[in-house]
Structure formats: C-alpha cells, structure tokens
C-alpha cells in the first residue's frame, strides 16, 4: 500500500465505524421503545 492510500483507508474505516455505531444505537433505541410500549400495554390492562 502506498502512502497516498492511507488517508482514503482511514476515511473508509471511520465511515464503517460511524455506521456501525449508528446501527448499534438505533437497535438500543428500538429496544427501549419496545420495552416502554410493553410496559404501557401492561399498565393499561390492569
């Protein structure tokens, strides 16, 4: 690999890490919303 390719590789790695973080956080958010919805549904049935 040449020195000219290092910046492009760094950009690609950063983009992959950023998209992976977005997926992880969206999964956590959807899980939290589901937990909240189930708690609301359970409270409404009581």
SS (H, E, C) 1-46: CCHHHHHHHHHHHHHHHHHHHHHHHHHHHHHHHHHHHHHHHHHHHC
- Whole-prediction pTM value? 0.58
Q: What is the pLDDT of residues 1-44, one digit of tens each?
A: 678 889 999 999 999 999 999 999 999 999 999 999 999 888 77
Confidence of residue 46 (pLDDT cuts 50, 70, 90): low
Q: What is the pLDDT of residue 44?
A: 77
Residue for token pair 């998209």:
19
């Amino acid at each position: 690999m040449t020195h000219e390719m290092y910046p492009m590789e760094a950009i690609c790695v950063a983009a992959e890490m950023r998209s992976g973080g977005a997926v992880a956080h969206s999964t956590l958010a959807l899980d939290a919303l589901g937990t909240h919805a189930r708690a609301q549904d359970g409270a409404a049935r009581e």
